[in-house]
Amino acid sequence: MEVYFVIFQKFGKLLFLGVYFTVFITLCAVIVGLVLGFTLSVMRLYGSKPLKFISTTYIEFVRGTPIIVQLFIIYYGLSSTGLVRFTPMQAAIIGMGLNSAAYQAEYFRTAFLAIPTGQTEAALSLGMTRFKVIFFVLLPQIFRVVIPSWTNELIALTQYSSLAMILTIMELTSVAKYIGSKTFFYTQSFAIAGLIYLLFSFFLTRLMMLFEKRLAIPGISAAKVRM
C-alpha cells in the first residue's frame, strides 16, 4: 500500500490530467460518432442508391480495418501529404469518432428496423414527409432502443482511448507508462490505471442504465426489444 501512496503523492496531478484527457477524448469521439453514425444509417436505409453505396462502403471499410491503422493514417499519413495537419488531440478525436460512427450506424440501423413499419406507413398516409417521419416519429423511439448499444460503445471508446498514447497524448495509459518508467513500479502504475478504467466504465454503465429506465415506455423500451 505504501507504493500506491507514493505514486498518488508524487504523480496525483499527472494521473488527474490523464483521466481528464481520457474522458475528453471518449466524450468527443462518441458525439462525433453519434452525429455521423445517425447520418450514415439514414443514408443506408432511406437514401438513393449512390448514398446507400457510400454509407455501406464506409461502414464496411472502417469496421474491417484496425483503429490503430486509422489513427496512423489520419495523424501521420495525412500530415506527410502536406495538405492537412492535425494536432494529436484532433487526430485522436477524429479517428476514434470516425471509427465509432461505423458501429453506431449499425446500432441506429438495427433500431430503425425494430420500429414497426406500420408507424411509418401510417405517418406517410397522413401526408408527412419522409424527413418528418424520421425525426418526429421514429427518432424519439430509436433513442430509447439504442441506449444499450451506446453503453457498450462508450465503454469500448473509453478503452480505445488508450491508443491515443501512440499520438503522444498523455492520457491515462500513457501516464501509467510514464510513472512506471520513473519509479519502476510498472505493475502498481498500470494497476491504478486499470482500476480507474474499471470505475469509469462502471459509472457509465450505471448512468446509462438509469437513463434507459427513465426513458423506457411500454412496447418500445430497449428491454422489450431485447426479449
Q: Tell me: the pLDDT tens digits for 95-130?
A: 999 999 999 999 999 988 888 888 888 888 888 888
Q: For residue 170, tell me if it sits in a domain.
A: yes
pLDDT at site 79: 84
Q: For residue 51, tell me if it sits in a domain.
A: yes
- Looking at the structure of the chain, the number of domains it has is 1
pLDDT at site 1: 77
pLDDT band at 142 (very low <50, low <70, confident <90, very high): confident
Q: For residue 154, tell me if it sits in a domain.
A: yes
The string of DSSP codes covering 40-59 is HHHHHHHS-HHHHHHHHHHH
Q: For residue 101, tell me if it sits in a domain.
A: yes
User: Helix 2-46 to helix 139-160 angle, to the nearest 10 degrees?
Assistant: 140
Tell me the average pLDDT across 137-146: 84
Percent of the chain exceeding pLDDT 70 equals 95
pLDDT at site 144: 81
The CATH number of residue 35's host domain is 1.10.3720.10
pLDDT at site 102: 96
Domain ranges, residue 179: 2-116+146-202
Q: With 0-12 CB in 10 A as exposed, 13-18 as middle and 19+ as buried, what is 191?
A: middle
Q: For residue 222, tell me if it sits in a domain.
A: no
Task: Give the up-direction half-sphere exposure of residue 181: CA atoms within 13 A in the CB hemisphere.
Answer: 6
Q: For residue 72, tell me if it sits in a domain.
A: yes
Q: For residue 167, tell me if it sits in a domain.
A: yes
CA 208 to chain centre: 14
Contact 180, 190 (CB under 8 A): yes
Q: For residue 223, tell me if it sits in a domain.
A: no
pLDDT at 220 over 80: no
